């Protein structure tokens, strides 16, 4: 119990110190809702905690850490992401994916974003034998602290002794808030 309290205080203090640049992301379509909290850890490092719920697929909890680099209008992030799947329609499991995110600023208000993560069988646990996630979106910045986007996301969990499970495959709408 003491470890839990120490860890909770550490996490809360970390988030409190970074509150000026924290971002909240959300996305929704007819069957899926997603949310993520992105916190900068340093100038070139960030952490992301996410949750995705799908009516006919289950739940995914996600945690990622990225190192970033900016070159003009290009923004690159490389890192690792942990996904934990709970589903009534496929075997539960987890995977550690490697990959990253890319953003291209097309001007002061419009940007293109893409991300890709892949977990081979050696980084998949429980019943999962592999995992990949692809995401792309077009974002329009309404204010310096608020943006709206439309995107496409595909999340698949692979199994040795069962059919691969497509958690999500479709278009979504969403937003991003910075505070």
- Where does residue 72 fall: left (phi above 0), alpha (psi -120 to 50 degrees), or beta otherwise? left
User: Using one digit for the tens of pLDDT, what is the confidence trace for 63-87?
Assistant: 999 999 999 999 999 999 999 999 9
Tell me the C-alpha distance between 4 and 70, whole Å: 36
CATH of domain 21-178: 2.40.160.40
Judging by DSSP bridges, how do beta strands 32-42 and 23-28 pair with one another?
A: antiparallel
User: Using one digit for the tens of pLDDT, what is the confidence trace for 104-123?
Assistant: 999 999 999 999 999 999 99
Q: Are 124 and 108 in contact (CB under 8 A)?
A: no
């Amino acid at each position: 119990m003491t470890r839990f309290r120490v860890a909770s205080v550490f996490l809360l203090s970390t988030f409190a110190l970074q509150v000026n640049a924290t971002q909240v992301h959300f996305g929704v379509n007819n069957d899926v809702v997603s949310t993520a909290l992105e916190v900068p850890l340093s100038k070139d490092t960030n952490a992301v905690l996410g949750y995705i719920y799908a009516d006919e697929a289950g739940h995914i909890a996600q945690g990622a850490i990225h190192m970033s680099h900016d070159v003009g209008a290009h923004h690159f992030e490389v890192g690792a992401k942990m996904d934990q799947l709970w589903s009534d329609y496929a075997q539960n499991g987890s995977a550690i994916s490697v990959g990253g995110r890319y953003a291209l600023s097309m001007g002061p208000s419009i940007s293109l974003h893409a991300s890709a993560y892949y977990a081979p069988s050696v980084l998949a646990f429980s019943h999962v034998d592999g995992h990949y996630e692809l995401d792309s979106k077009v974002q329009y910045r309404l204010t310096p602290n608020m943006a709206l986007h439309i995107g496409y996301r595909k999340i698949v969990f692979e199994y040795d002794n069962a059919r691969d499970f497509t958690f999500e495959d479709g278009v979504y709408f969403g937003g991003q808030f910075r505070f």
